Structure 1
Amino acid sequence: MSGNLKEKALRTFTHEGKSYAYYSIYSLKELGFPIEKLPITIRILLEGALRQLDNNRITEEHIYNLAGWMKEQKEAAEVPFKPSRVLLQDFTGVPVLVDLASMGLALKEEGKRSGKVSDIHPEIPVELVIDHSVQVDSYGKASSLSENMALEYERNKERYEFLKWAQKSFKNLRVVPPGMGIIHQVNLEYLASVVTEKAEDGNTLLFPDTLVGTDSHTTMINGLGVLGWGVGGIEAEAIMLGEPSYMMLPEVVGVKLTGELKEGAAATDLALTVTATLRKLGVVGQFVEFFGDGLDSLTLADRATIANMAPEYGATCGYFPFDEETYRYLLLTGRPREEADRIKAYLTENGLVRRAEEEPEYTKMVTLDLGTVTASLSGPKRPQDIVPLQEVKEYFKECVTRETGNNGYGLSGEEFDKKAKLSLKESEVDLKTGDIVLAAITSCTNTSNPYVMLGAGLMAKKAVELGLSVPPYVKTSLAPGSKIVSDYLDKAGLTPYLEQLGFHTVGYGCTTCIGNSGKLLPEIEKAIAEENLLTVSVLSGNRNFEGRIHPLIKANFLASPMLVIAYALAGTILIDFEKEWIAKDRDGKKIFLKNIWPSSKEIQLLIKTALKEEMFRNRYEEVWLGNDKWQELKTEKADTFAFHEESTYIRNPPYFDSLIPKENPENSLKELKVLAKFGDSVTTDHISPAGNIGRNTPAAGYLLEKGIAVKDFNTYGSRRGNHEVMMRGTFANIRIKNQLAEGREGGFTRYFKTGEILSIYDAALLYKKEETGLLVIAGKDYGMGSSRDWAAKGTALLGVKAVLAESYERIHRSNLVMMGVLPFEFMEGDSADSLGLTGEEIFTFHFEEGKNVPAFVTAVKGESKKPSNTNVSSGTTSQPGDSITFQVKLRIDSLAEWDYYRNGGILPMIARNRMVVGRKPLT
């Protein structure tokens, strides 16, 4: 069979009287490969490699690696992934399209010189959903939705005009306008085809719908049996332009689900439990595949909730194979029956469905009994830190006084005596430590799930009927994942009750979870700041990293929408719902959580009566149209985009200024100084915040110089099309802790030449003028969190040549390489502290090109001026000139990555290839 694998794999089958072609993975059984033992995720990768075999970027060796997965993964084999489409959201999508526009402009200029014209267009379908720009400015009233949307268009007019230009000018690009819903829910309910149909060589070819997305929670689509995951925008651009994504043959962890969820537990609680379990197991960079009879009791929405959280448990994806529940969901969401039947027939024919009698082989397995899941929260700083509901009160008390870290604030017991007196809504209230100042039903994770959304509505109804209300210091909001959620809440008659508690719809987009939570009442913000109060948010989201939700709220807990309602009513995290009452009803009777908690029977009955197929069909008929404001945006189709120097939103980035390959990569990693030294769990939110731009930051200084008023700063996320803002925002999170900043929290560092504590941006600028290369040192899980390409872009533009960490999150490590920054990893057991590194050293890296080659670092103790206002000791007795040499791992994980690095990053490499300047082959 060798030599014509692709030809022999092409088969046909007939369904409903029509013939379809497909590439059969079972054709490889003739070569002795046990295909039926492969995890279904690996089978999908195998189908893609077989179908796209070109003996250039995808070779027969890649196919053999996948077909012999269990054996080959131990050999650290490399495999490609070329998905059938790319999914973007506007925060990450704008810089992607800005880069393409910039590349197109560079190619046009090159064409004038050389006479060789090369256009830039996506080579595969790309869909962009505008969902990340709406902010919760208005809340708690019927007009909040329209007011927030008006402000969204006012703030983002220039960005939206650019996106409309891109929609008109780039082939293979479709844009879902603002106000339609959250990207992952729109993808789940409408965009995903599950199986792609394509005319090819006279045949109607069927193959799995696969994708990558520039949002880490792209993994939600795995709940629908569609394989996909989040990548950085840089990698997405490369894939859009025909480059495969290369990865090491993944380990696949099988999670066997048994039993059923018991009364009181919801899919949110299961997702948090899975997150805590798999983080503890360690699945970073691995595939997770769910199987077992427990799947029979989980709805598609439940599965999507769990799949959504894959980045939180560290996996590349959390996959649920296609089965009867998937088929039912396709029909529920308005997909035509004949289409659903064809999807089911193809996937069955090619062995890509869940079969109860089959149990594939996995790298390792873990079993989870659904009956053990209980109502839970996660926080206060990370989604994997789960705590059962009945323990939350005592847990939070411990967090307050525990030493500063992922679960601690390092405060004294006196913190609980703090209070601020406020006059709100004609009543006097005390704001105290642990009070809930923000309660948000938000994010793709939960707002796609009718069970928890209708459950929250039922709780609101019961609470209102008993006369309960939300304290005036709690900012409440509801941001449904799609308009269908509003439809079924309306049909169930629950919307008025949610609104009576202040949970009016504020927008259809990713709001609080991404940091677009808006301002609190001025009196509350003033009280928190002046008293330094430790207040709390509770949200039904998937991310609660430091500084992400709101800059003034230090403790943030993830919870189901039902528990968001409960905590909003209580007004404090310091309540034991099992033993303590929430409030008194009109008759003075004490009301406990159990008095308003809906039963699963009540919720299921509502789902049957309120959720209808026609809701999906009706809403998605208008998905591409947009409202009047979108229609009014004026923009013209053009071959290239006209960048304007005065723009503070869309600027031509500098990635294509130099297209000269690095002849000797090692030369650029000599005598590096440390820009920042971090501990564990530094997230991409720490490295590149998405929320509000602080008044006293380098980014603010730039905008003020450009004549932008503070009220018009908007967010870092909205300004990702401007590299000048984003460079200044790199490492600018107000909660980041650089150990070189002498205890000062935020984006600061020590400039070694003078000993001054400066902003990281200002110090980097001085080092750049001196032509001094920079290094970042970090602990475990560096870059965990969102697939934020600006965390790597900003790092590179500041002049950082390398990062040395104990471990990396998958996407950020890849992004660093794609921006020409080398990621090094301490050897197991080593760390900056164990090696006695203070960050005051000067580092030189020694390595050669190749996979898994040894690398060494020489750290020479440098002259280090201390700030005049500190007595902090460096903790070392070594003298200037003393040195240490130690081994590290160079985390270049594929030969393709050397190609990216040698070319100064993947974007210049692609541009150079298009210019026919000549590319160095993979070695």
Structure 2
Amino acid sequence: MSVVNSLKTHSTLDVAGKTYQFHSLQKAAEQLKGIDKLPKSLKVLLENLLRNEDGETVTGADIQAMADWLEARHSDREIQYRPARVLMQDFTGVPAVVDLAAMRDAVARAGGDPQQINPLSPVDLVIDHSVMVDRFATDEAFHQNVEIEMQRNGERYAFLRWGQTAFDNFRVVPPGTGICHQVNLEYLAQSVWASEVDGKLWAYPDTLVGTDSHTTMVNGLGVLGWGVGGIEAEAAMLGQPVSMLIPEVIGFKLTGKLREGMTATDLVLTVTQMLRKRGVVGKFVEFYGDGLADLPLADRATIANMAPEYGATCGFFPVDDITLGYMRLSGRPDEVIARVEAYSKAQGLWREPGDEPAFTDSLHLDMAEVEASLAGPKRPQDRVALPDIPDAFDDLLALQVAPADQEQARLEGEGGGGTAVGAQNAQATITVDGKEHVMSHGAVVIAAITSCTNTSNPSVMMAAGLVAKKAIERGLMRKPWVKSSLAPGSKVVTDYLEKAGLTDYLDQLGFNLVGYGCTTCIGNSGPLPDDIAHAVSENDLVVSAVLSGNRNFEGRVHPQVKANWLASPPLVVAYALAGNTRLNLAEEPLGLDAENKPVFLKDIWPSNAEIADAVAQVEDGMFRSRYADVFSGDEHWQSIQISEGKTYDWQNDSTYVKNPPYFDDIDQPLKPLVDVQQARVLAVFGDSITTDHISPAGNIKASSPAGEYLQSLGVKPDDFNSYGSRRGNHEVMMRGTFANIRIRNRMLGGEEGGETIHTPSGERMAIYDAAMRYQQEGTPLVVLAGKEYGTGSSRDWAAKGTNLLGVKAVLAESFERIHRSNLVGMGVLPLQFKEGQNVASLGLDGHEVIDIQGINDDLKPGQSLKVVATTSKGDKVNFDVLCRIDTRNEIDYFKAGGILHYVLRDLIGS
């Protein structure tokens, strides 16, 4: 790519004895008046355009559009953005490497050199999503879980080890090391990147895309990054720019300080609720205000982490002294820290007191107003103040038990024993260690200190340890029905808990180390103890999980747990002690001490000073030692045997890794775009259908199509592992698409489970079985949905599975950013109902025949298309929809059948 540099912004910067080349935003400001007022996140994008201006993918008009943004504070301009690097985790990384391996096969079949398929940008893949909480509350839990993980995932790990040797620019952080976002924050990220080009050393902002929506966590370090689907990430690896509109930027002003006893988790849940209410989907959020001067880097990372939960593309914090302090603490080289400071100040990216950039809109929060909170029971944006948790649970309980039991009460007559009130007071007797205990609705059956969101933050982790210490000193123990676990995102966490003398207290409460990975937050909570599981199912108990994670969608944490609460680590410990979410922890005791006196939460809650004293024991040497040899792995990893070939030796009997069918026809001429004709509706969904609903990551049900497929190959249900771990096998993932146990298809009256009605036969069957029958009949399919379709994790399989089921288009009221892009990337057409229209207003029920008109090779971004829905009675419903292919690049990808097809055809053609 030839650089044009039309604004003559090339400059040099001398730092610590090295000379760096860079594109000066100050020089650009001499010609683009006012850009010094741009939000700092947009300055990063502007620098990216200046550095990559080539007259074709990036033009002078694109650069001018960044300056023009200031007039309206938004823009319809499409730009091509090139991130410096790519981050992956193994759930999304395995299918990405499968795709790269399949592309190598396709190139070889076409007579080309398979090594044409190679990452052009640095790629780091961190294996963090596979460890499950099979063993807990024992000193041996960590080692036992590692053994089980390696046994379960041997095929996957051998495949990734092959990729580590076969591909250039591709590094793998082995299992048992940490969570990708925490490893990124603590080690991989540099804030200002440097690389050699044609013998010269260039400096530029550290930018990335990641195959996990919580990639945004590193934005707390002044790095600009966000989650994309694995499909987009693969394209970025292969040299394709990320096509995007210049975003609106919402400023979020922070002032004041947190009050005594409030945590970063309380703060982020408040921020999430505020921003969801404001509506920031597809927008950048940039934090500013003098409150940042007292906001630790770990707290910033916690807030940035949950950008997907508040709906933004990213939540960005600028570089300042606190950034540099964290980089020193985490063991970054002095040379890197000096470069970050000098470059950020030279480019106007450094946060100065009183900074007031020009934002599209802004919000303000005085942090002194934050109160103790949880979020749930189903969505991370639904913040509930601590005293209100019992009422919030009872509201859920009424919805869960009332309908059937009210009918029973009617049949038995007024005052009968089978009343709805009785059902809401249901109990079960369990026996644990020879003693009988009574469980009831609201019982906390899972209490998990988990997830990068909070385990990256020493203040809340030390607070959890201090709560445990004070609880033990008062004679409290966790309730016997609670499955407790500690799964930090970094080995540094266990080091500093040990140094602070808190590990033993956590262990005594059952919060023993179970692994270094996402565990419960991703749904790898493992089975409940048999007696507990039996009591829940036999008595229809509505039970709770309390976790320090970022996601609590239906069916995600555990299939038997219907109420899931996000909380700070110290509150996770407190709820393990209390044992039930129907208790008001602000007023009711957690338990009784040795003298039979009540112990309240306030009695064991540490002061800010106590937490600060503990946090002061975190040292840079902990980071340096833990990351000194981060890519080597333990003896399990090093003993994996791999082949040395440049193409992968696919194993026909593998149930984990299979060669996907996407590229079978890549050597055939492109087919023109045509209308969708005589399509049937596969399913009708409501609002907030998540990628968890579309492509679950957790348990595989034995009676599901995926479970039956695995059993047909001799895999026992105990060895199913999870959907997430089997993402390298398209046969499993196709069968798992729309198979979440909590998904509701309105064609079945909103009943839970992944089933549908085949039309016109009227037969009820699994969605996968219906899709295969439609394919045999030569019938194309569409999906109908409500608002915020595709929220949640950036799962490429939510789009891949949709494609492989034969779905040609998804008609929804609105789309979450990543999933919309992924649908286009897999050749599925995202269509949006016009304002004021939806499935209900149009009278659609899913039994219609659908025609979509206006799809041809002249298709344009945002074009209006006509839909004709013919009802079962022969009536026709005509309406227009908006084509949500948003950019010209996406049109090219869609015409090629998807983004990877576009790249592969280009490589084969060259």
Q: Quote how far apart the aligned CAs of 1:142 are.
A: 0.1
Q: Which residue in 1 is equivalent to 2:415?
A: none
SS in 2 for 1:795: helix
Q: Which residue in 1 is equivalent to 2:386?
A: 389
2:712 corresponds to 1:715: no
Letter of the structure 1 residue corresponding to residue 103 of structure 2: M
Q: Quote how far apart the aligned CAs of 1:743 are.
A: 4.7
Q: Which residue in 2 is equivalent to 1:301?
A: 298
- In 2, Cα distance between the equivalents of 1:861 and 1:33? 58
Letter of the structure 1 residue corresponding to residue 722 of structure 2: T
2:548 corresponds to 1:566: no
2:882 corresponds to 1:889: yes
2:141 corresponds to 1:144: yes
- In 1, Cα distance between the equivalents of 2:719 and 2:422? 39
Q: Which residue in 1 is equivalent to 2:871?
A: 861
Give the alignment of 1:637-716 within 5 angstroms: 637-659=644-666, 660=668, 663-667=671-675, 669-716=676-723
2:22 corresponds to 1:22: yes
Q: Which residue in 1 is equivalent to 2:165?
A: 168
SS in 1 for 2:220: helix
- In 2, Cα distance between the equivalents of 1:218 and 1:509? 15
Percentage of identical aligned residues: 53
Q: Which residue in 2 is equivalent to 1:541?
A: 549
Q: Which residue in 1 is equivalent to 2:810?
A: 803
C-alpha distance 251-674 of structure 1, shift in aligned 2 (>3 A): same
Q: Which residue in 1 is equivalent to 2:907?
A: 914
Judge conservation of contact 1:749–1:759 (CA < 8 Å) in 2: yes
- In 1, Cα distance between the equivalents of 2:636 and 2:7? 51
SS in 2 for 1:670: strand
SS in 2 for 1:246: strand
Letter of the structure 2 residue corresponding to residue 320 of structure 1: F
- In 2, Cα distance between the equivalents of 1:20 and 1:170? 29
2:280 corresponds to 1:289: no
2:638 corresponds to 1:631: yes
- In 2, Cα distance between the equivalents of 1:154 and 1:491? 32
Q: Quote how far apart the aligned CAs of 1:16 are.
A: 3.2
Number of aligned residues:
890
2:230 corresponds to 1:251: no
Q: Deviations over 1:519-551 (max 9, x none)?
A: 001111112112211000000000000000000
C-alpha distance 509-117 of structure 1, shift in aligned 2 (>3 A): closer
Q: Quote how far apart the aligned CAs of 1:198 are.
A: 1.5
Judge conservation of contact 1:28–1:67 (CA < 8 Å) in 2: no
- In 1, Cα distance between the equivalents of 2:820 and 2:268? 25
- In 1, Cα distance between the equivalents of 2:622 and 2:591? 37
- In 1, Cα distance between the equivalents of 2:609 and 2:149? 40
Q: Which residue in 1 is equivalent to 2:277?
A: 280
SS in 2 for 1:312: helix
2:489 corresponds to 1:481: yes
Q: Which residue in 1 is equivalent to 2:413?
A: none
SS in 2 for 1:791: helix
- In 1, Cα distance between the equivalents of 2:45 and 2:401? 43
Q: Deviations over 1:25-53 (max 9, x none)?
A: 22222323311110111100111111111
Q: Which residue in 2 is equivalent to 1:452?
A: 460
C-alpha distance 696-403 of structure 1, shift in aligned 2 (>3 A): closer
Q: Which residue in 1 is equivalent to 2:67?
A: 67
Q: Deviations over 1:572-631 (max 9, x none)?
A: 0011122211111001111000000001111001111x2011000011002111100011
Q: Quote how far apart the aligned CAs of 1:116 are.
A: 6.8
TM-score between both structures, scaled by the size of structure 2: 0.96
2:104 corresponds to 1:104: yes
Judge conservation of contact 1:65–1:72 (CA < 8 Å) in 2: no
Q: Which residue in 2 is equivalent to 1:90?
A: 90
Give the alignment of 1:114-133 within 5 angstroms: 119-133=116-130
Letter of the structure 1 residue corresponding to residue 605 of structure 2: W
TM-score between both structures, scaled by the size of structure 1: 0.95
Letter of the structure 2 residue corresponding to residue 244 of structure 1: P
Q: Quote how far apart the aligned CAs of 1:57 are.
A: 2.0
Q: Which residue in 1 is equivalent to 2:49?
A: 49
Q: Which residue in 2 is equivalent to 1:779?
A: 786
Letter of the structure 1 residue corresponding to residue 86 of structure 2: V
- In 2, Cα distance between the equivalents of 1:49 and 1:347? 17
Q: Deviations over 1:679-706 (max 9, x none)?
A: 1111000000000111110001111111
RMSD: 1.6
Q: Which residue in 1 is equivalent to 2:414?
A: none
Letter of the structure 2 residue corresponding to residue 482 of structure 1: S
Judge conservation of contact 2:32–2:67 (CA < 8 Å) in 1: no
Greater CA deviation, 557-566 or 836-845?
A: 836-845
2:471 corresponds to 1:463: yes
- In 1, Cα distance between the equivalents of 2:114 and 2:652? 26
Q: Quote how far apart the aligned CAs of 1:845 are.
A: 1.1
Judge conservation of contact 2:7–2:31 (CA < 8 Å) in 1: no
2:52 corresponds to 1:36: no
Judge conservation of contact 2:453–2:550 (CA < 8 Å) in 1: yes
Judge conservation of contact 2:506–2:512 (CA < 8 Å) in 1: yes
- In 2, Cα distance between the equivalents of 1:544 and 1:527? 23
Q: Quote how far apart the aligned CAs of 1:17 are.
A: 4.0
Q: Quote how far apart the aligned CAs of 1:413 are.
A: 3.6
Q: Which residue in 2 is equivalent to 1:877?
A: none
- In 2, Cα distance between the equivalents of 1:472 and 1:269? 28
Q: Deviations over 1:828-884 (max 9, x none)?
A: 11111011111111111123511222212111113xxxxxxxxxxxxxxxxx11001
C-alpha distance 75-442 of structure 1, shift in aligned 2 (>3 A): closer
- In 2, Cα distance between the equivalents of 1:4 and 1:716? 47
2:757 corresponds to 1:730: no
Q: Deviations over 1:247-280 (max 9, x none)?
A: 1110000000011110121000111111110000
Gaps of 5+ in 1: 863-879, 918-923
Q: Deviations over 1:118-156 (max 9, x none)?
A: 621000100000011000000000000000000000000
Q: Which residue in 1 is equivalent to 2:207?
A: 210
Q: Which residue in 1 is equivalent to 2:411?
A: none
Q: Which residue in 2 is equivalent to 1:223?
A: 220
Q: Which residue in 2 is equivalent to 1:814?
A: 821
Q: Deviations over 1:275-304 (max 9, x none)?
A: 110000000010000000111111000000
Q: Deviations over 1:793-836 (max 9, x none)?
A: 00000000000001111000000000000001111111110111
Q: Which residue in 2 is equivalent to 1:235?
A: 232
Q: Quote how far apart the aligned CAs of 1:424 are.
A: 1.2
Judge conservation of contact 1:471–1:568 (CA < 8 Å) in 2: yes
Q: Which residue in 1 is equivalent to 2:608?
A: 600
Q: Deviations over 1:385-407 (max 9, x none)?
A: 001001111221122225899xx
Q: Deviations over 1:147-169 (max 9, x none)?
A: 00000000000100000000001
- In 1, Cα distance between the equivalents of 2:356 and 2:156? 49
Q: Deviations over 1:764-803 (max 9, x none)?
A: 0000001101010111111000000000000000000000
Judge conservation of contact 2:6–2:60 (CA < 8 Å) in 1: no
Greater CA deviation, 61-70 or 419-428?
A: 61-70
Q: Which residue in 2 is equivalent to 1:583?
A: 591
- In 2, Cα distance between the equivalents of 1:250 and 1:379? 30
SS in 1 for 2:239: coil
Greater CA deviation, 718-727 or 849-858?
A: 849-858
SS in 2 for 1:68: helix
- In 1, Cα distance between the equivalents of 2:750 and 2:841? 21
Letter of the structure 1 residue corresponding to residue 316 of structure 2: Y
Q: Which residue in 1 is equivalent to 2:626?
A: 619
Letter of the structure 2 residue corresponding to residue 778 of structure 1: A
Judge conservation of contact 2:74–2:248 (CA < 8 Å) in 1: no
